[in-house]
Amino acid sequence: MPAIDQYLQSHASRFEDELWEFLRIPSVSADPAHREDMHRAAEWMADQLRRMGFTAETIPTAGHPLVYGESPKLPGARTFLVYGHYDVQPPEPLEKWTTPPFEPSRREGHVYARGAVDDKGQVFTHLKSVEAWITVEGRLPVNLKFLIEGEEEVGSRSLEQFLSEQAERLACDCVIISDGSQFAPGVPAINYGLRGIAYYELRVTGPNRDLHSGSYGGAVTNPANALAKILAGLIDEQGRITIPGFYDEVVPLTVRERQEMAALPFEEAKFLEELGVAGAVGEAGFTSLERRWARPTFDVSGLWGGYQGEGAKTVLPASAGAKFSFRLVPNQEPEKVTTGLKWRLAELCPAGVELDLIRLAELCPAGVELDLICHHGAPGVLVPLDSPYVEAAARAIAYAFGRRPVFTREGGSIPIVTTFRQRLGVDSLLLGWGQEDDNAHSPDEKFSLADFQRGIKASARLWEELSTLSLESGKPG
């Protein structure tokens, strides 16, 4: 057995102990109460890099710190940038967790914790593969730069800024990212597409105070009724989004792509059963995989207004609100979606609703106010599959997972991937070690420890595969 694999095997349980340490830090980027934890997580990562002989620092930003490190220079070798994130999604609802989100727990071959798969466990595989190379061989066979951010789950604003100022520092031949999933257990994947996103919050304000719904109901606009109507009007019976021009730039699926997706071992009945839902829904004329990976969608993520306590209260609430987003596909632009959304909101706003921020007030008589907040946006992305890097990664995955990867798209978003293309002129290799049912963003998030160890093994092999590409052949055209 090659010495590196032997090292990985004999240190496997320590790698898990270290991952536990990382998972115990509640680095929730969306919640200002966790600012200090964000610093702790960043320092923890930087320290890991330094211990392997990298120059590493945490870089302060207007938001949460970036972690950046470089391996000792290896002249004449290619350079790869490993990107990942140390921030995690909020763990709520806490009562739905079997064990607390920041007390990692091992059950049935998995580690359960917020961030286990998204993305602490995955990004850590690349750190441990580097450790193995440095300890066993004394050096890596390629140059590596690590860039780990703390705002991926809230839109990567600070990293966007950093890239616009310091792109030269990040110069590389290709970006390596493990922040997604395999196709299924035993079916590893290389991912060639991510959806984009446009995320909003809509606040509807009505009368100057909560009112008795009997005395006033039906005579003044109820903001919760208005909100429900507006949200429902954003999508039609065919599952099509009703914003004018919304589909204009959508790159359609090719016949070949549809055939390839249809050929993947996807069992719709099993998919629905696992989620506990009776049937599939979505845009007419598309399969579930097409809807999830390659078509734009609309989803409400939060909804409030009125009485939420025990029992019934007859109230006409003074305000209501929603958080919602559109998942986008190439070549939709979030800015254009915002413009179209404002027009559509103007059309949908019921009598008695005032469009304030939207500045189309003449369309609605006074009574209720609409405020639209744009949280974050990113376009979708497709990466080419005909590159020597993809082939090198396929070999490394086959070596560690025992079979060649299938090629998939993903429905989620990693906003910075498009920016890497624009600012650094390079593509990303999307190598997800997780599973679709690992509960990312949900209670009981988990990561298979076998996938964790295979991910480390694949990563270690990847550095070798990438180092053997001839210097010319690997250059992006």
Residue in 37, 149, 151, 152 annotated catalytic? 152
Q: Does 456 engage in binding with ligand BES (CB under 6 A)?
A: no
Identify the bridge partners of residue 297 per DSSP, sorted by sequence position.
Answer: 327
Minimum CB separation of residue 1 from Zn ion in Å reads: 32
Contact with ligand BES (CB under 6 A): which of 104, 155, 321, 379?
Answer: 155
List Cβ neighbours of 290 (8 Å cut-off, separation of 6 or more): 253, 258, 261
Task: Give residue for tokens 């059950």.
Answer: 107
Q: Does 189 engage in binding with ligand BES (CB under 6 A)?
A: no
**For residue 172, how far is the Cα from the chain centroid?**
23
Instruction: Name the residue whose CB lies closest to ligand BES.
Output: 412
Residues between 64 and 93 with contacts to ligand BES, criterion CB under 6 A: none
Minimum CB separation of residue 464 from Zn ion in Å reads: 26
The closest of 131, 129, 147 to 83, measured between CA atoms, is 147
Residue 340 partner contact from Zn ion, ligand BES, none using kind-dependent CB cut-offs of 5 to 8 Å: none
Separation between Cα atoms, residue 175 and residue 464, nearest integer Å: 16
Minimum CB separation of residue 289 from ligand BES in Å reads: 13
3-state secondary structure (DSSP) of residue 470: coil
Residues shown for the chain? 477
325-339 burial: b if 16+ Cβ within 10 Å, else e: bbbbbbebebebbbe
Separation between Cα atoms, residue 406 and residue 192, nearest integer Å: 10
Minimum CB separation of residue 87 from Zn ion in Å reads: 9
Q: Which residues bind Zn ion (CB under 5 A)?
A: 118-119, 179
- Select 119 or 427, whichever has its Cβ closest to Zn ion: 119
Q: Does 115 engage in binding with ligand BES (CB under 6 A)?
A: no
Minimum CB separation of residue 365 from ligand BES in Å reads: 36
Stretch in the footprint of ligand BES (CB under 6 A) among 7-15, 126-134, 224-232, 408-416:
408-416
Minimum CB separation of residue 84 from ligand BES in Å reads: 9
**For residue 351, how far is the Cα from the chain centroid?**
38
Residue in 87, 131, 436, 464 annotated catalytic? 87
Q: Does 149 engage in binding with ligand BES (CB under 6 A)?
A: no
Separation between Cα atoms, residue 307 and residue 28, nearest integer Å: 28
The closest of 435, 416, 472 to 177, measured between CA atoms, is 416
List Cβ neighbours of 237 (8 Å cut-off, separation of 6 or more): none
Residue 410 partner contact from ligand BES, Zn ion, none using kind-dependent CB cut-offs of 5 to 8 Å: ligand BES
Minimum CB separation of residue 190 from ligand BES in Å reads: 12
Q: Does 145 engage in binding with ligand BES (CB under 6 A)?
A: no
- Select 387 or 408, whichever has its Cβ closest to ligand BES: 408
Site track for ligand BES across 415-444, x = CB under 6 A: x-----------------------------
List Cβ neighbours of 350 (8 Å cut-off, separation of 6 or more): 221, 225, 226, 229, 230, 364
Contact with ligand BES (CB under 6 A): which of 197, 241, 294, 368?
Answer: 197
Minimum CB separation of residue 65 from ligand BES in Å reads: 18
Task: Give residue for tokens 């010495």.
Answer: 3
Separation between Cα atoms, residue 187 and residue 334, nearest integer Å: 33
Contact with ligand BES (CB under 6 A): which of 65, 115, 121, 180?
Answer: 180
Contact with ligand BES (CB under 6 A): which of 344, 376, 395, 454?
Answer: 376
Q: Does 153 engage in binding with ligand BES (CB under 6 A)?
A: yes
- Select 179 or 257, whichever has its Cβ closest to Zn ion: 179
Residue 376 partner contact from ligand BES, Zn ion, none using kind-dependent CB cut-offs of 5 to 8 Å: ligand BES
Q: Which uninterrupted H or E stretch holds 35?
A: helix 35-51
The closest of 378, 374, 475, 474 to 419, measured between CA atoms, is 378
List Cβ neighbours of 51 (8 Å cut-off, separation of 6 or more): 131
List Cβ neighbours of 220 (8 Å cut-off, separation of 6 or more): 206, 207, 211, 316, 352, 367
Q: Does 380 engage in binding with ligand BES (CB under 6 A)?
A: no
Instruction: Answer for the pair 154, 89: CB distance below 8 angstroms, yes or no.
Output: no
Contact with ligand BES (CB under 6 A): which of 37, 70, 118, 465?
Answer: 118
Instruction: State yes or no: is 87 an active-site residue.
Output: yes
- Select 305 or 415, whichever has its Cβ closest to ligand BES: 415
Quick one: 91 exposed, middle or buried, by C-beta within 10 A (0-12, 13-18, 19+)? buried
Residue 329 partner contact from Zn ion, ligand BES, none using kind-dependent CB cut-offs of 5 to 8 Å: none
Contact with ligand BES (CB under 6 A): which of 70, 151, 290, 410?
Answer: 410
* Residues assigned a catalytic role: 87, 152
Contacting residues toward ligand BES, per CB under 6 A:
118-119, 152-153, 155, 179-181, 197, 376, 378, 410, 412-415
